[in-house]
Structure 1
């Protein structure tokens, strides 16, 4: 068996110390194994060789076989370029280089036969291929007449002539050295049971696929391996946690819980809420530390379930804590929970970065004595100075804003770690929930409270803006408030999109009789909160914002969400933005504004948004339309673990 783990990349033919150093720094590639696991990001079919007389400037990529007739240098300074006149006997094309001219002239020879690959364009009536791949016929790498892999590289690497083609040649060299099979990473039983390719064949076909079918099988084998070890890591992490961390036992469902249920419960619990509460009660009563993800769509009643879970802690003599990602959201939870607990003899306090001096000292002291029953706050609650008398349960709102390491810091607040309940309104495909949050058990609230009106979603082209503004004006006249979301803060030279600063001025001109506030991520926290408060209090009728409001405040009076350049957002993000409205008793609307020219997958996204309000259905569709995004999310989560 061939072992790649200890073979340094610098000893591979054609690499050397200088290139190896560049690959170490730029791609984190040190060994031959690292190199083989650096997979292509795309493939281009190079199975066909065209004749020059067949090609035109509208073709995507073409491959030619012929000879260089002559070289010619044209222009001065930045306009200087090298042209190689290339012919296959049926016509002539120009191969053009704007950089590395001396290197190119020294490398390629007149009248030698080459395979050329590139994208054709027309300039001055002649077919051009700018910076094409050029290989002597005698030195073709494995892929040149089949599916060619393309590898991501950095600008520093390109300046050092380490482009995708160079990496491909390195891969070819490694493959030629693989005379023996690689050491298998999966047991023979697993390989056989799941009809998997061997590791050696999978790596050969991921870099140099002999056919689309073999490429698919190679990808399946390597994805299977990655997910297998992710799941193994989950199991190890879970077993370690269960072994190390015993949990408090909440035996009683006592007076606090019953009083709230009988006198303060704002509405009848849904079947899903009752089911989730039962799962939580089983967790906190079994003697092991609870680590549970509470997943529910916008408006499904997660906060109520979290509060009732905290009341279980209080009934058993423990304190509870809720963490939110922003001060304004923490303040919203504080006000909501205080209102829900009205008339009950329970002390609820708010601790954020703004709470200082005497008030802060008073809260820290009351936490230690146990006088505070429920603490609500931001990252401030995980500071070392914050100590509890007996912290039994921690609720974390919007897990993706904190991460595993920050969550673990809460465990040090007691000798025995508190139970952890994580809430998220971000829809996660059911098929991925266990992978993304593998250290957590998963509960789902998949039912909305009765009487909640579904949000009406409309796709509108931007040439109908006048009718949109009339609709907004009518809604404001009826006492409602409006969100308008832009994808950019300022104008961009690179992309033609509506931007917030221009939009803010335009909306103020269009609605001079109303107050318009704006919120974006570059604002200082205090300024952002002040603008948010204008909207929450009802002083401002229109909020112009970026996606900073994706996870945000609860404004039941807001009835319209307008999303400019909606084609720039993914399905899950559109759904999160839509969830800012529809929180009151009135009919709410989401208007997706786009131009006419839309790609097919964009049209599908918008059609799904118009058709359904179900966050889980939307997340599943997003997974199918943009699998790479979910792969990145998955890698980010597991990197943090």
Structure 2
């Protein structure tokens, strides 16, 4: 009966390894430790200091079970130099048996200050006669159901059964001073006590440098391969009408009350140029909030339509997709085109009609949410896919939209979260980037004020004054219902509080759980000044454009991310009124929260905000990696390792041009079956 149990345990371990993303032998080889413990030596108790992880050999002199303040096992152990206390808050009878007086053990744990003496809490206990380890003990990233011994055994077997030979000739590594891959792997998994432990744990050790370079090289090879593949994929060139035919762009611009800024014109020219190529455009249009990306996207869509194609615009939220639809629909009518809106809550009959119009080509422009990529959506002839707030979508979602075309369409991504140059250089080598770095005329500067929650009454009085002067106000809250863990003012409670404090004011409430029709009605009423004050969650983060709303209050601002605060602030300053964004915060503030609020106060430049946000948070949110399920850089750091990014890019170019087999072998080692995602 023993073998089935063993098989079940093995299967269970395998499933946990899979959950960690360790599905191949090379995955295990590249599963490097988080930190190390030194079990190569025994330290006298007298030399142990609080904060150290040490290994001692000592005899139990006393043990007892205490019941205050809770049931716990406490033991005192001694060696020739001194004594220390051991404590278990949860323990088994076998552990109590271990701690009988007179027994001698090898004990390992972190030393800390106890009630009256130094102590170890939940230390590891083993026999004294076992040989000491000759290498530092690796502590690996793990998951519930998987112990360190299981991981270490799996890693050791993988190293023994996998070739660690160089797949790229050593001649390319030697000028860079990088150690061999096999040596780096062995050092990182089983370093000797002679290795610099601080360098290992801070990832500055030469072994880490080699691993980080290889990871960066794989990334740069992936990006370059994706660009090469795209340039060899067929697309339909979308060219401008030949004079004297008047283009749809000219027809629309003749009817609008504004002209494009120089930056908008430059970006549109870049987009139009890419659309004339016979391979798919893969361009990112980025610009700060309020810079005018939407009209540029519309004009790109018109180029597709006048070539007999359809354009699809996918947005991450229903509110944003509705805002886009309203603008695209209004502009489409001016030039005699049909624009439709596809979203999840659309009624059955209207959905059938919309799908039919998309399929038979009656709909020229299609705006929607992720409903665009669901089964049953068939385009007549999709020529341009526009992804708004592209970092909010996963790679597969972006790919799925493009794959609904007969021939791979041109793709335009948009982001109101400016991507710093260092990040673009590392992660977006396959994207051509257009930047709208100029604000349209008439946009007023936004004054940002930091106000403690204790001064709430002053803020409400300011709201009352602004409304009397004809203004409109946003009041933003992070949650819509009570939470025991986050003591935040909720949108519902804020709505009730403001109704009581301002009985003469017309107040609306909108949040993500409202039915779509009700949400749309509240937003329409606010846009048409039937409401003075809109209490809302972050559903108005992007896309909402009410020029008369010149005051925003963000409650519990310390709870928001920096990019999100900047996006929210961008909902005001869209008209002629002097605009103010009040960030109400509650102390005590964490260091990161204080840095966020300081950045918001000091600048309204989206690129500076993005750089600060990136320093505080890392690149994940900018790249949509969380949604895609793909790792970003696991080991390298885009800022700290910027030098190696440049070296990796240079080597990637050489390998692809002159040693494609080595390039492929390196990709197979580091990113098997993953680099195709970069086409998204």
Q: Same fold (TM over 0.5)?
A: yes
Structure 1 residues 277 and 42 mapped into 2: Cα distance closer, same or farther (>3 Å)? farther
Summarize deviations over 1:154-207 as a string: whole Å, max 9, x none. 3434xxxx2x5x4686599679x8799932354323322433232234334545
Describe the SS at the equivalent of 2:164: coil
How far is 1:53 from its partner?
Answer: 7.4
Equivalent positions of 1:224-263 (< 5 A) are 224-252=213-241, 254-257=245-248, 259-260=250-251, 263=254
Between the aligned partners of 2:625 and 2:167, the Cα distance in structure 1 is: 21
How far is 1:132 from its partner?
Answer: 3.1
1:112 equivalenced with 2:140 (yes/no): no
How far is 1:71 from its partner?
Answer: 5.2
Conserved in 2, the CA contact under 8 Å of 1:49 and 1:62?
Answer: no
1:427 equivalenced with 2:418 (yes/no): yes
How far is 1:306 from its partner?
Answer: 0.8
The residue aligned with 1:512 is 503
Summarize deviations over 1:226-281 as a string: whole Å, max 9, x none. 23222222233333333333223324265133533651244232222122111112
Between the aligned partners of 2:15 and 2:361, the Cα distance in structure 1 is: 57
1:195 equivalenced with 2:177 (yes/no): yes
TM-score, normalization by structure 1: 0.82
For structure 1, the residue ranges without an aligned partner over 5 or more in a row are 1-14
Between the aligned partners of 2:506 and 2:32, the Cα distance in structure 1 is: 53
Between the aligned partners of 1:73 and 1:548, the Cα distance in structure 2 is: 58
How far is 1:299 from its partner?
Answer: 0.8
The residue aligned with 1:272 is 263
Summarize deviations over 1:383-417 as a string: whole Å, max 9, x none. 55444544332322222344343333444555333
1:333 equivalenced with 2:324 (yes/no): yes
The residue aligned with 1:8 is none
Describe the SS at the equivalent of 2:588: coil
Conserved in 2, the CA contact under 8 Å of 1:260 and 1:341?
Answer: no
Give the number of equivalent residue pairs: 615
Higher mean displacement: 24-33 or 617-626: 24-33
Match of 2:86 among 84, 95, 104: 95
The residue aligned with 1:4 is none
Structure 1 residues 113 and 579 mapped into 2: Cα distance closer, same or farther (>3 Å)? same
The residue aligned with 1:604 is 595
CA RMSD of aligned residues (A): 4.0
Higher mean displacement: 59-68 or 320-329: 59-68
The residue aligned with 2:145 is 156
Describe the SS at the equivalent of 1:269: coil
For structure 2, the residue ranges without an aligned partner over 5 or more in a row are 1-7, 631-673
The residue aligned with 2:341 is 350
Between the aligned partners of 1:45 and 1:517, the Cα distance in structure 2 is: 62
How far is 1:514 from its partner?
Answer: 2.8
Higher mean displacement: 499-508 or 602-611: 499-508
Between the aligned partners of 1:315 and 1:204, the Cα distance in structure 2 is: 61
How far is 1:503 from its partner?
Answer: 3.7
1:27 equivalenced with 2:20 (yes/no): yes
Conserved in 1, the CA contact under 8 Å of 2:395 and 2:624?
Answer: no
Between the aligned partners of 1:476 and 1:139, the Cα distance in structure 2 is: 79
Conserved in 2, the CA contact under 8 Å of 1:248 and 1:418?
Answer: no
The residue aligned with 1:464 is 455
Higher mean displacement: 108-117 or 288-297: 108-117
Conserved in 1, the CA contact under 8 Å of 2:138 and 2:189?
Answer: yes
The residue aligned with 1:573 is 564
Conserved in 2, the CA contact under 8 Å of 1:436 and 1:634?
Answer: no
TM-score, normalization by structure 2: 0.78
Between the aligned partners of 1:628 and 1:167, the Cα distance in structure 2 is: 32
Structure 1 residues 91 and 489 mapped into 2: Cα distance closer, same or farther (>3 Å)? farther
How far is 1:495 from its partner?
Answer: 4.6
The residue aligned with 2:576 is 585
Summarize deviations over 1:431-469 as a string: whole Å, max 9, x none. 223654555432222222233222222223323323222
Higher mean displacement: 580-589 or 596-605: 596-605
Between the aligned partners of 1:47 and 1:599, the Cα distance in structure 2 is: 39
Describe the SS at the equivalent of 1:472: helix
Summarize deviations over 1:461-483 as a string: whole Å, max 9, x none. 32332322222332233333333
Between the aligned partners of 2:11 and 2:629, the Cα distance in structure 1 is: 32
How far is 1:572 from its partner?
Answer: 1.9
